[in-house]
Amino acid sequence: MMEFALASAIGALTAGGVYLLLRARSFDVILGLTLLSYATNLLIFSAGRLAVGKPPVLLEGVETTLANYTDPLPQALVLTAIVIAFAMTAVTIVVAMRSRADNRSDHVDAREPEADA
Amino acid sequence: MSQLPILPILVPMLAAAMILLVERRGIAWQRAVSWTAMGILLACAIALVARAHHGEVMVYLLGDWPARLGIALMVDRVNALMVLTTALLASASLLYACAGWDRRALHFHALFQLQLAGLNGAFLTGDLFNLFVFFEVLLIASYGLLLSGGRGLRMRAGMHYVVFNIVASTLFLIALGLLYGMTGTLNMADMALRIAAADAQDVALIRAASGILLVVFCAKAALLPLYLWLPETYSRAPAAVVALFTVMTKVGVYAVLRVYSLVFGEGTGELAGWAWAWLLPAGLVTLVLASLGVLAARTLRGGVAYLVIASAATLFVAFSLNTPATVGAGLYYLVHSTFVTAALFLVVDLVRRQRGASGDRLDVAAPLGSKTLLGLMFLVAAVSVAGLPPLSGFIGKITLLAAVPAAHTAWVWSIVLLTSLMALVALSRMGSQAFWRAQPVPDGEGAAPAPKRLEVAAALLLLGYGVALALAAAPVLRYTLAAGEQVLAPASYIEQVRATQPLRRAPSP
């Protein structure tokens, strides 16, 4: 059940992210990138297998086998990925705002399509 | 354990931090720090090549953790060569920027050093996740270099570049998540062993993950159909920056060569070398399309940008044939094409500024100052990039063609030779339009100031590398051929990674 829920969450986030990414406005594209990065973070997290109530750090007096612990590495990877995705979102927003100010349009091609003009 | 392998990453990173500290003291301080770091980096790169030259594989354990737990850096002939190429290219690019661009672009020197740290890290790392991190470091620095001091349409090109690369990074993470889930390791050497021992039911998913990884690297290296971002971005970037960017597509090519010869190399059973069968036709088609792009280019810089794609495609053809001789010839061609396309970008930028308001558009004839000097530089670069004798392009291409296995001769020879002809036609057209049809320069106010000495020196330096590559072709080719043999025989490298033990840390159970 837990696997099904997580897989559905990853799938829904990815679908939403790809849909938004293909739209023509910078703002939608940035939101799409954010959703995609959430989906990726969940996917990496699941690479360490899902477990409930198991700590990733060693405890005193508990035998050090995988039966008692969960894999800590994916959690470290997710942390790195979150930081990088966060920084990238900031960069994209700055570039998008600058492009909008310079080109007077937040269309990704920096000009409005002919029909609107 | 020698500390040499970490220095090409640490020195530029430290320099970037120091440049930020001395920034308010003026441009002279920044230049001094930047050049000092550049000098140390060049010395390190030469020392690395000297060490790797004998075929020794150096493995450096970061934090003294064993390779399967921590991050390992590694140096063999191929990545020592890549680090040296980057350092040589970067010194020319820095020289060009010091003629004045570095005053106009905010934080130029700091970003430039960070970019170098990212490039060297991506070349030296032996860990897949670390490769992702260094890709991000070099990309973040490249966004800054590309966009600082830019306005208007450069911002639009920058937006496309940033979004495209973030999507590629997301795919990279997805592939890494899947690979870690299947193999339980991120170290390349360890992963090769685990894949060789993988269950039959897991092979399909591993193949899918490695396919996603291939898409990411091909996007960075601008292979069909993922090259559309490159011409627009490169033709709008500042010249000093784009000269350094010519090595960025090579990072993608290098990553393909490293990952698909080591992680999915010989000895990994069903998955051994599966990517090469796809890359050969993709490389050939990209070569044709890129050459058509050069022919159809409406600006000088656009044409040179398509030449960059063509050179990356040639490299894919060389590497996907997957014999020591073709990979060796490809590595020689890689060094040559990096220098010569960077030189072309610099020359074309000088030409553009001499032509005044017409810029680098090819549909108008414009007056051109300093015609003889620029014409000669363009001639040398064009002869080299088109593969005409006697320069390095000819040596690279003929070695590659001679090494092509008999089964592929018909296709590879005809396409490589045909596209060389197309590039030659396009370059002749560019040259005749820019130099022969140049109108007389009006006297007095209309004339652009003569190109600065530093800028000419930087372009000449890059052309000089090319000439030196041609003059020293025998030793360089001997080195690259040995590197080709080394990279296609991953067993000794895997052995070396496993044999390298932490020095001070007790081995963990």
Asked whether the beta carbons of residue A91 and residue B140 sit closer than 8 angstroms, the reply is yes
Same domain for B284 and B263, yes or no, is no
Which parts of B219-292 are beta strand (E)?
A: none
Collapse the DSSP code of A54 into the 3-class scheme (helix H, G, I; strand E, B; otherwise coil) and give the result: coil
Q: How many CA atoms lie within 13 A of B496 on its CB side?
A: 20
Looking up tokens 């059940």 gives A1
Task: Let me know if residue B329 belongs to a domain.
Answer: yes
Q: Read off the pLDDT of residues A36-55 as tens digits, 9 standing for 90 and up.
A: 999 999 999 888 888 888 88
Task: Let me know if residue A30 belongs to a domain.
Answer: yes
> Which residues of chain B neighbour A21 with C-beta distances below 8 Å?
163, 167
Q: What is the pLDDT of residue B256?
A: 92
Taking 3-state DSSP, the helix, strand and coil percentages for chain B, each rounded to the nearest 5, stand at: 75, 5, 20
d(CA B10, CA B121): 9
Task: Let me know if residue A117 belongs to a domain.
Answer: no
Nearest CB to B173 within list A81, A95, A99: A81
d(CA B462, CA B304): 15
Task: Let me know if residue B31 belongs to a domain.
Answer: yes
Q: What is the pLDDT of residue A18?
A: 94
Residue B74, phi then psi, degrees to nearest 5 = -145, 150
Is pLDDT of B10 > 60? yes
d(CA B417, CA B253): 22
Task: Let me know if residue B482 belongs to a domain.
Answer: no
Task: Let me know if residue B456 belongs to a domain.
Answer: yes
Asked whether the beta carbons of residue A29 and residue B176 sit closer than 8 angstroms, the reply is no
Q: What amino acid is encoded at B44 in this protein?
A: C
d(CA A87, CA A94): 11
**Are B158 and B146 within 8 A, CB to CB?**
yes
Is pLDDT of A116 > 60? no
Asked whether the beta carbons of residue B129 and residue A80 sit closer than 8 angstroms, the reply is yes
**Are B246 and B341 within 8 A, CB to CB?**
yes
Q: Does B158 touch chain A (CB under 8 A)?
A: yes
Residues shown for chain B: 509
> What's the token pair of residue B48?
């690395």
Neighbours of B354 (CB within 10 A): 23
Task: Give chain B's mean pLDDT.
Answer: 88
Q: Read off the pLDDT of residues B221-249 as tens digits, 9 standing for 90 and up.
A: 888 788 888 888 888 888 889 999 999 98
Q: Read off the pLDDT of residues B248-279 as tens digits, 9 standing for 90 and up.
A: 989 999 999 999 988 887 777 777 778 888 89
What number of C-beta contacts closer than 8 Å exist between A and B? 87
Task: Let me know if residue A116 belongs to a domain.
Answer: no
Higher pLDDT, A104 or B250: B250
Asked whether the beta carbons of residue B176 and residue A44 sit closer than 8 angstroms, the reply is yes
Q: Which residues pair with A107 in a beta bridge?
A: A25
Task: Let me know if residue A113 belongs to a domain.
Answer: no
Q: What Rg value do the Cα atoms of chain A yield, rounded?
A: 20
**Are B179 and B202 within 8 A, CB to CB?**
no
* CA torsion through residues B46, B47, B52, B57, sign: negative
Q: Residue B417 CA to chain centroid, in angstroms?
A: 23
Q: Read off the pLDDT of residues B34-50 as tens digits, 9 standing for 90 and up.
A: 999 999 999 999 999 99
Task: Let me know if residue B477 belongs to a domain.
Answer: no
* CA torsion through residues A82, A84, A87, A88, sign: negative
d(CA B234, CA B225): 17
Q: CA of B152, closest CA in chain A: separation in Å?
A: 5
Residue B442, phi then psi, degrees to nearest 5 = -65, 145
> Which residues of chain B neighbour A96 with C-beta distances below 8 Å?
159
Range of the domain at A8: 2-103
Give percent of chain B above pLDDT 70: 98
Nearest CB to A109 within list B156, B162, B177: B156
Task: Let me know if residue A115 belongs to a domain.
Answer: no
**Of the candidates B368, B348, B372, B344, the residue with the CA atom closest to the CA atom of residue B448:** B368
Q: Read off the pLDDT of residues B323-342 as tens digits, 9 standing for 90 and up.
A: 999 999 999 999 999 999 99
Same domain for B225 and B365, yes or no, is no
d(CA B316, CA B433): 32
d(CA B276, CA B242): 29
Is pLDDT of B71 > 70? yes
Collapse the DSSP code of B74 into the 3-class scheme (helix H, G, I; strand E, B; otherwise coil) and give the result: strand
Domain count, chain B: 2
Q: Does B129 touch chain A (CB under 8 A)?
A: yes
d(CA B316, CA B415): 13
d(CA B259, CA B123): 12
Q: Read off the pLDDT of residues B165-222 as tens digits, 9 standing for 90 and up.
A: 999 999 999 999 999 988 888 888 888 888 888 888 888 889 899 999 999 999 988 8
d(CA B261, CA B320): 10
Neighbours of B191 (CB within 10 A): 26
Q: What is the pLDDT of residue B114?
A: 94
Task: Let me know if residue A37 belongs to a domain.
Answer: yes
Task: Let me know if residue A108 belongs to a domain.
Answer: no
Which of B132-136, B195-199, B435-439 bottoms out in mean pLDDT, i.e. has the lowest?
B435-439
Same domain for B267 and B278, yes or no, is no
Task: Let me know if residue B151 belongs to a domain.
Answer: yes
d(CA B310, CA B285): 10
**Are B214 and B175 within 8 A, CB to CB?**
no
Same domain for B347 and B496, yes or no, is no
Task: Let me know if residue A54 belongs to a domain.
Answer: yes
Domain count, chain A: 1
Report the first-to-last Cα separation within chain A, whole angstroms. 51
| CA B444 to each of CA B68, B352, B410, B448, B449: distance values in angstroms, whole numbers, following the listed order | 69, 19, 57, 10, 11
**Are B296 and B266 within 8 A, CB to CB?**
no
**Are B343 and B462 within 8 A, CB to CB?**
yes
Same domain for B70 and B93, yes or no, is yes
**Of the candidates B368, B299, B371, B312, the residue with the CA atom closest to the CA atom of residue B341:** B312
Nearest CB to A110 within list B156, B167, B174: B156
Range of the domain at B451: 274-471
Residue A72 pLDDT class (50, 70, 90 cuts): confident
d(CA B328, CA B483): 6
**Are A98 and B155 within 8 A, CB to CB?**
yes
Task: Let me know if residue B509 belongs to a domain.
Answer: no
d(CA B488, CA B491): 9
Q: What is the pLDDT of residue B443?
A: 66
In sequence order, the 6+-apart residues with CB closer than 8 A to the CB of A88 are: A33, A37, B136, B140, B162, B166, B169
The residue of chain B nearest to residue A99, with distances taken between CA atoms, is B155
Same domain for B316 and B218, yes or no, is no
Mutate to test the interface with B, among A84, A93, A94, A100 (most CBs of B within 10 A): A84
DSSP code per residue over B163-195: HHHHHHHHHHHHHHHHHHHHHS--BHHHHHHHH
Specify the pairing of strand B58-61 against strand B72-75: antiparallel
Asked whether the beta carbons of residue B177 and residue A47 sit closer than 8 angstroms, the reply is yes
Q: What is the pLDDT of residue A41?
A: 92
Same domain for B436 and B289, yes or no, is yes
Q: Does B170 touch chain A (CB under 8 A)?
A: yes
Same domain for B87 and B229, yes or no, is yes
Is pLDDT of B362 > 70? yes
Same domain for B268 and B278, yes or no, is no
Task: Report the range out of A107-111, B60-64, B435-439 with the highest average pLDDT.
Answer: B60-64
Asked whether the beta carbons of residue A95 and residue B178 sit closer than 8 angstroms, the reply is no
Collapse the DSSP code of B68 into the 3-class scheme (helix H, G, I; strand E, B; otherwise coil) and give the result: coil
Which of B213-222, B257-266, B418-427, B494-503 bottoms out in mean pLDDT, i.e. has the lowest?
B494-503
Q: Where are the alpha helices (DSSP H) in chain A?
A: 2-21, 26-46, 73-103
Task: Let me know if residue B508 belongs to a domain.
Answer: no
Which DSSP helix (H) or strand (E) runs through B317? helix B300-321
Q: What is the pLDDT of residue A117?
A: 43
| CA B279 to each of CA A10, A40, B132, B216, B420: distance values in angstroms, whole numbers, following the listed order | 30, 27, 22, 13, 20
